[in-house]
Amino acid sequence: MPLTGQTVVVLGMGRSGQSAAILARDLGATVICADQNPASTAPDGCTNTCGESHLLALKKADTLVVSPGVPASLSPIKDAAEKGTRVVGELAFAAQLIRDHAPIPVAAITGTNGKSSTTHLTGQMLSHNGFRPWVGGNLGQPLSDLAHQRVVQPLRNQPVHDVAVIEVSSYQMELPERFHADAACVLNITPDHLARHGDMQNYAATKLRIFDGMGPGDLGIMPLDEPWLNTTIAGLTKRGGAIQWIGKNPGVDWSSHPPNLVEAEFQGTRDDGTVDLSAFPLPGTHNVSNALAAALLAIHLGAKRDEIRMDALEPLPHRMEIVCQSQGIRWINDSKATNIDAALVGIEGAGTSSIVLLGGEGKAGADYRQLITALEQRAKAVICFGASGTTIATSLTNSGLQPLVHNPTNFIEAMRLAAQLASRGDTVLLSPACASFDEFSNFERRGEAFGRVATELMDSNEHRGAS
């Protein structure tokens, strides 16, 4: 087995760490699981070390696998690398095993916003073309699950997937080792996770490592007007990789089309021509951009452009998801918009005459004034709720926001007020610009509550605004 005789220490026993430990165990390694949480557990057959002394286990490692939730900047991790220990992130650990023992074409997607949606859309497009994609990484299943299927079980289970579509976070690129994708896309880079990465320069450089292992025959996909990409473009082309653009050719050109976009043109790809967008069902130009990035990835991996069914694409839950349409009112769940940039995209994508719900647990230093222009152009009313509701409402009001700003105390009151204010032709948009942890355990629970309560309110007599 590939890891027989090695001691593998897995640091961080969340979902990714558990999956990596099982993979290493079943490939013959002696596995030690380390976590600062004294209540953490290890898979059967692995040694569990947790609590205050968990970092002592790092000294025993031949290979140290670091979960994405653990910063690579920790001194014990750096010390291990300096002493010659192989130090690798969970994603790269799994990817290298797949590449060495059971290769599969890989599309990788990163960016501050939109990477989960684009990963999801890429998987759908490949499915339309008869591929059997595995979709995961930072989204859903850890890549170690796919490595287990392909490397550990090929004789017992014939692999069911013939291509991998991987969402990649900046945390996963802190220790990328030789991570390689046949096609990789950076959607955008805006301020986020700076408490961990320090500044925008380091944050951008970390994300752009997704291109480092690429060479001849590989494809890098990038957005226009991204100042952090210049050196990356030079490095990728020097290694023989190709560049395609979201918004111009080579790549896909759609920026010159009118707002009612009906067609996009692909040039310089493996299957040039046009794609009909007239029946594309997802709201917002950002979703069009994400879908076209997904199409570039899928075409590079072998999808036929004519078999990409834009009209059949479905959104991920909690990303501009239409959860209720009743009495001429549309309710959109964009609960995943946990920062200002994501909320701005949601507000711009929802259309005019929107009632926008902002609130939850805001991030330190967030400047909600960045939303004012979009809100003045598109919002009928703004409802601020939750732990940061007053802060958001005060910031917007003091800056002279024209639409009326309301500040109920909690999420349910905000929903009831939205139902009362909404009239036929309006959109009620939850694009909160905040985390959910004041009232909900995660953004999924918040989004589920939004959909459920929206349906209840529209079925009740609490809705009075329809005409």
Would you name the residues annotated as active-site residues?
115, 138, 193
Instruction: Name residue 297's amino acid.
Output: L
Tally helices (H) and strands (E) across the chain. Answer: 14, 20
Q: How far apart are CA 288 and CA 261, in angstroms?
A: 9
Q: How far apart are CA 91 and CA 108, in angstroms?
A: 11
Report whether 420 contacts 426 (CB < 8 A).
no
Residue 171, C-beta contacts closer than 8 angstroms, at least 6 positions apart:
68, 69, 89, 193, 196
Report whether 84 contacts 259 (CB < 8 A).
no
Instruction: Name residue 174's amino acid.
Output: E
Report whether 144 contacts 65 (CB < 8 A).
no
Report whether 426 contacts 380 (CB < 8 A).
yes
End-to-end CA distance of the chain: 69
Report whether 122 contacts 299 (CB < 8 A).
no
Largest separation between any pair of C-alpha atoms in the chain: 73
**CA separation (Å) from 192 to 132, 197, 364, 370, 397?**
33, 9, 11, 15, 25
Angle between helical axes of 285-300 and 340-349 (0-180°, round to 10) = 100
